[in-house]
Each structure stands twice: as C-alpha cells, then as structure tokens.
Amino acid sequence: MSTPRLDDLPQVVDPTVLTDLGERLVSIANAAQSSMADVRQRWTLLSDSEVFNVSGAEAVPHMLDRPAADARSFSEALVEARNALWDAGSMEFPDLRHRREELASRIPTVVADYDSAVDASARADTVYRSTRGADVDASVAADASLVRLNASVTLRSAESALDSLSTDIDRFRRDVEDAEDRLASRLRNVAGGTAVINAAGEPVRVGQLFWGHTESAYPGAPSAASVNRTLSEQLAYVLGRAAERRIDWLSRADPDAVHSWLGDHPDFVQSVAFIDPQRTGPLFADLMASSTSAPGGEWIEGPLAQLMALAPLVVGNMNGVSAAQRNSFNLKGLSDALVRDDLDAEVASRLAALRRALDVRTRDGSRPLLVGFFFDSDGSPRANLAFGDIDSADQVTTLTHGINTDLGSVAEWSTGSSDLQAALARELERTGEQGTAAVLLVMDWDSGDTFQVWGIDRPDAGAARLAETLRGVRVTNPSAQLNVGAHSLGTTMTSQVIADNPGLVSHAWFFGSAGITPDTRDALAEQARTGQMVLSATHADADFIAPFGRKTWLGSLHPEDPRGVPGVSSFGSDGGVVVGYGSAQGEFGEATDSHDAHNSVKQEFVGWGASWDGSPSPRYEPVEQTGYLDPSAESFKHFVVGLREALETTGASQ
C-alpha cells in the first residue's frame, strides 16, 4: 500500500498575493481615471472659444469623449478583475491553505500509525505462529491469538485511516484545481477598454479580445478558437496537440531515439487514449497517406510501418481509429510483450490469458478484437475487447467489472461478453429486428481491491478513460446507440461517465451496485427526467457484499443506491420468468445467489464426519452459485431483453 507524502499535496497560491494584486489593479484604475480627468480638464481650457476658436472645428470639445469612455471602461474592467481576485483571496484560497495545513499535519501521524500497525501485526503473527506447537501451553497460545487479532484490527483501522487520508488528498487536489479554474474563468470573462478607433473614426481590430486570450494577430499567437475554451479544456487541447506531434515524431525518428524516448516515458502509451477522438482520425489518415501496405493489409513502409515495428500500442490506443486497425497494432504489441523476459510470473500469466481469450471464436465464427492494450503505471496490463463490429453496429454496449478484477479474470469476462452478444443476436433474429449489436468489454481501468472500494479516485480515473472510449466509438460509428452495463464498483465509475457527459449514453444497466455519489444521483435523475438517458438497476437479495460499498460508516464516498434515483427502473435478479426472452411468453431465469458477475463455486457445509482420530469433523461440498451476468440468470435475461427493446424502440441513435 503506497503511503501519502507531503509532496503529494498541491501548492496553494498565497491569498495575500491575490488580494495585493487586486489592490494594485485598483490603483492602476484610479490612476487611469485621474489621468483622463486631468487631460479632459486641460483640453477644456484649450477648447475655450477665447483661446481656441477655429471655424469648422466645433467638434473639438468632444474629441476626448470616446477616449474618456474607453478609459472608464478599462478602469471598470480592472475593478471587476480586482473583485474576482479579492473574492478568491479573501474566502476560497484561505480555506484551501488551511485545509492544506491540516492535511500536512495528518500525514506524518497517519503514516507513522500505519507503519507501527504493520510492524505490530507482523510481530504478533510471528509470535502466534510460534505457539502452534503441541508443547505450548494453551493459555499462552490463546493470549497470542488474542494479541494477533487485536493487531489485525488495529492494522485494518490504520489502513482505513490511510485510505481516508489519500482520498482527502485527492479531493483537495481536485478542489484546488477547481478553484484555480473558477478564478481563471472569472478573469477570462472580464472585458472593457478594448475598443480602438482610428483617426478616421473606424473600428480597429486588435489582438487582445479579453483577459488571457488573443487572436492570431502575429505568427505563433494562440488560436482564436481558444476563446471558447475553459482553462482545463485549453490544457487538454494543448496536451493533445503535443501528443499528436510526438506520435508524428515517433513515426519518423531514428529507431534508437524512439526506443530511448519510449523507455523514458512508459506512461505515454496509456495517455494517447486522451487525445481528442475527433483529431485521431485525420492524424491516422495523414500517417496512412505516407505509408504503404502489403496485399494482406500489414504496413510495410512509411510512418505506420515504423510505428507498427517500434511503437504499435501508440496507434492501438488511439480512440477514433477503426477497431480493425487498432486490433492489428495491439496484437503486435501483445506479441512483443509475450516474448519479454523482464515480466514477473503474474503479469506473464495475465498476458497469456488475454492471448487465449482473443483466440476463442464467438457465435458467428469471428474472434474478439483487441481495441485497447497498455501497461498501467504499476506495470499491470489493461485491455478492452470488442465482440461484434463496434464500427458499424447499430448498438454498442460497454460492459465493465468491479473490484479485485484484472486481466487474470479476462477468460470469464470475455466469455460473459461473448454470451451477451450472442444472446442479443439470437433475440434480434427471433423478433425479426434488422439491427445489429456489439459488446465492448472494458477492462482498461484499475478498480483496486477491497480496501479501495469506498474511495472515488479509482472510479473517477476509470470514468475519464471510459468517456474517451465512448467518444471514440461515437467518432467511428456516429449513428450507433451507445449503452453501458456495469457491475459492482463499475457502476460507480460508469455512473460518473453518464453524469459528466449528458447525451453520450442512451441506456444504462447496473448490477449489484457499490453505490454512486450524491452529485451523480442528482445528475442521473435530471437526465432521466429530461429523457436523455434510461437507467435500470438490480440487486439480488442474496448479495450481501454490494451494500458494504455504500456504507458511510465505513467511509464510503458513494453511498447512494442507484435504485433510489428518481426515474430509475428496477429489474429482478431473485429468480423469475422474464417475459419476452426466448419467446413472447418468456423464460425462467435463475436467482443470483452471490455478488459475483459470473458463476462461482463455494464450499457449503453438508454435515459432520469423523477425522483420523475419531473426533467430529465438518464436511463441505462445492456448490455452484449463479452470478448476475450468467446466461441462466434472471438479471442477464432482463439485460438482453432491455437491450433488444432499446434498439427496437429508439433506433440506433438517441
């Protein structure tokens, strides 16, 4: 578990710097007004008829009216800017500085308590194991067991405090960024004193339109398009353009330089997914125009050939490029990874599981496409798999997981996605619907483990990535209906995507939700009320795990049950007939009797037997449990019927 450091805390601008700057602006405004008043007074003397009396110069006394008005407008703009700085410097930023001091004071204590708890737990465990021998007094063993239990409880408490601190630091970081964005936005919208009139009385176009933005009055100046962007949007735009230029360089540079740069910047591949999907298509087209392919389609010359050879995952993770091309580049990247000799056994096992999943043919004989593949910052491989043609299907539905899930589980999730796509295809054929459907399995986000389930940082990070994935599908398949399905903490992540991107998603289905935030609940309710999105959710009575993700007393930051969102449609998962599945009368669906998405096996107590010494011994037998997304489950069949009806009733696009 990583521990927070003081360096993790963002710096906060000293509020006095803002207020002092504001006062300086007021001084400038007052000086400008005083100077203009003095000029006008002197001009009045000059325009006196006894001193300055020229026939035809009757307008002379009014020649300073427009400059005076501009000076007044300029002064008012400075005062408005001062007010924005003063409000931020006297209220918001002092609070942020105070919060930073509190967090800075918590870090050493919480980290020290955690380190102490880890050491105490390790020592208690060592002592406990030493008392396991038959010659140890029972009371000594009992005391050691109690000490071990207490140490374990203390460690869990310390881990919880550490997670809470990390969450507070992440929230503080976002709050600082939001405060800076709000101040920048207020300053950007300040205008005044920028109208310029030439000697002929005609308006002159100037580069400075308003605070912080200029038109291209000279080579290299910021684009006029930046006028309509927020500070964060402008940053994303600039970084995106920088990434595009880097990709172009990677496609043409010396191979040794490419290897060296990629080695120094291992996170670049995963960041490529955040380039605006509207720009990746033209970028790929430019690269393709300078490249040559063989009859089989592989790139053999030009920039794409170099990217395929040296940096295939750069292209493979570009949202907005066709699924077939991304699959080709990602498969090359996967092949390269499989022959590396520096991977640990666990990572190698996950890559092998991914390779096997890609080789399994679906119902129509095709194989899934690898439309996303990279190594996360911690070295974990992440991937997205497409079942069906996501570039041409009338309906594309993403499917994603909850906690404790990575590519080690890709086999069951890949099978589940294939089952969903096949079942939906059968239903569309049975009902005579001409539309086509595809499923996009999203496993490119880090959902964390049990101790991270109550936080929001991982769902937030996953939401940002999923939003770009959906936008990429929107670019390559503009008319497709985009839907989402999610399980457990995946519902927390997916709900954030919907809340932050109104109109992007048409229908959503949630299974065994770990909860959503209050703000997200309100946003989903508004979208449901206005008809922008339809949300359906289920929770099985036998699922005792999901509610723990919503417990505020455990520190959950997403305590809201999505079934409580106004306008949500609840569907069953406790066993029952699903009308419209398989036939007009419907078909019975099994009850979900665990929190799992797919089927699992548990050891169930069936009675008592005798151990080797004749003492009673409990007997267990393996019992299969039905998951939410198993094809036999009621919830799965509701999902299929819901997807079919969504396509039938609303068409491909929303």
Q: What percent of the chain has pLDDT over 90?
A: 51
Residue 641 pLDDT level (bands cut at 50, 70, 90): very high
Per-residue pLDDT averaged across 593-607, rounded?
A: 80
Model confidence over 110-119: pLDDT tens digits?
989 988 988 9
Q: What angle do CA 617, 619, 622 make, to 5 degrees?
A: 155
In angstroms, the CA 641 to CA 572 distance is 13
Residue 203 pLDDT level (bands cut at 50, 70, 90): low
Model confidence over 476-492: pLDDT tens digits?
999 999 999 999 999 99
pLDDT at 138: 76
Per-residue pLDDT averaged across 4-13, rounded?
A: 84
Residue bearing the bigger pLDDT, 160 or 642: 642
DSSP class of 416? H
Q: Which helix (H) or strand (E) holds 78?
A: helix 65-87
Per-residue pLDDT averaged across 394-409, rounded?
A: 96
Residue 59 pLDDT level (bands cut at 50, 70, 90): low
pLDDT at 225: 43
Instruction: Report the range of poorest mean pLDDT among 231-235, 454-458, 640-644.
Output: 231-235
Residue bearing the bigger pLDDT, 74 or 179: 179
Residue 222 pLDDT level (bands cut at 50, 70, 90): very low
Query: Residues 514, 488: contact at Cβ < 8 Å?
Result: yes
Q: Is the pLDDT of residue 57 over 70?
A: no
Q: Is the pLDDT of residue 653 over 50?
A: no
pLDDT at 375: 95
pLDDT at 208: 37
Q: What angle do CA 161, 164, 165 make, to 5 degrees?
A: 85
Model confidence over 303-350: pLDDT tens digits?
999 999 999 999 999 999 999 999 999 999 999 999 999 999 999 999
Residue bearing the bigger pLDDT, 129 or 370: 370
Query: Residues 131, 140: contact at Cβ < 8 Å?
Result: yes
Residue keyed to tokens 């033209």 = 282
Whether this prediction's pTM lies above 0.85 is answered by no
Residue 654 pLDDT level (bands cut at 50, 70, 90): very low
Instruction: Report the range of poorest mean pLDDT among 63-77, 309-323, 573-587.
Output: 63-77
pLDDT at 24: 84
In angstroms, the CA 215 to CA 228 distance is 12
Query: Phi/psi zone of residue 455: left (φ > 0), alpha (ψ -120 to 50 degrees), beta?
Result: beta
Query: Residues 262, 252: contact at Cβ < 8 Å?
Result: no
User: Which has the closest alpha carbon to 459: 407, 498, 418, 505?
Assistant: 498
Query: Residues 311, 258: contact at Cβ < 8 Å?
Result: yes
Per-residue pLDDT averaged across 552-563, rounded?
A: 94
pLDDT at 55: 53
Model confidence over 508-555: pLDDT tens digits?
999 999 999 999 999 999 999 999 999 999 999 999 999 999 999 989
Q: Burial of 28 by CB count in 10 Å (0-12 exposed, 13-18 middle, 19+ buried)?
A: middle
Q: Which two tokens stand for residue 520?
A: 């997200």
Q: Burial of 165 by CB count in 10 Å (0-12 exposed, 13-18 middle, 19+ buried)?
A: buried
Model confidence over 430-445: pLDDT tens digits?
999 889 999 999 999 9
Q: Is the pLDDT of residue 35 over 90?
A: no
Model confidence over 254-312: pLDDT tens digits?
999 999 999 988 889 998 999 999 989 889 998 998 999 888 888 999 999 999 999 99
Helix ranges (H only) for 201-320 are 231-250, 255-264, 268-271, 277-289, 303-310, 312-316
Residue bearing the bigger pLDDT, 320 or 34: 320
Q: Is the pLDDT of residue 227 over 50?
A: no
User: Which has the closest alpha carbon to 111: 191, 249, 7?
Assistant: 7
Model confidence over 184-195: pLDDT tens digits?
777 765 555 445
pLDDT at 296: 83
Q: What is the largest CA-CA distance in the chain?
A: 130
In angstroms, the CA 374 to CA 320 distance is 17
pLDDT at 624: 85
In angstroms, the CA 444 to CA 350 distance is 13
Contacts with 40 (C-beta within 8 Å, 6 or more apart), sequence order: 64, 68
pLDDT at 407: 95
Write down the mean pLDDT value for the chain.
Answer: 85
User: Which has the closest alpha carbon to 633: 576, 586, 579?
Assistant: 576
Instruction: Report the range of poorest mean pLDDT among 157-166, 228-237, 412-421.
Output: 228-237
Q: Read out DSSP for 301-354?
A: ESHHHHHHHH-HHHHHT-TTS-HHHHHHHHHHHHHHHHT-SS--HHHHHHHHHH
In angstroms, the CA 612 to CA 606 distance is 19
pLDDT at 60: 57
Q: Burial of 267 by CB count in 10 Å (0-12 exposed, 13-18 middle, 19+ buried)?
A: exposed
Query: Phi/psi zone of residue 288: left (φ > 0), alpha (ψ -120 to 50 degrees), beta?
Result: alpha
Per-residue pLDDT averaged across 179-202, rounded?
A: 63
pLDDT at 166: 86
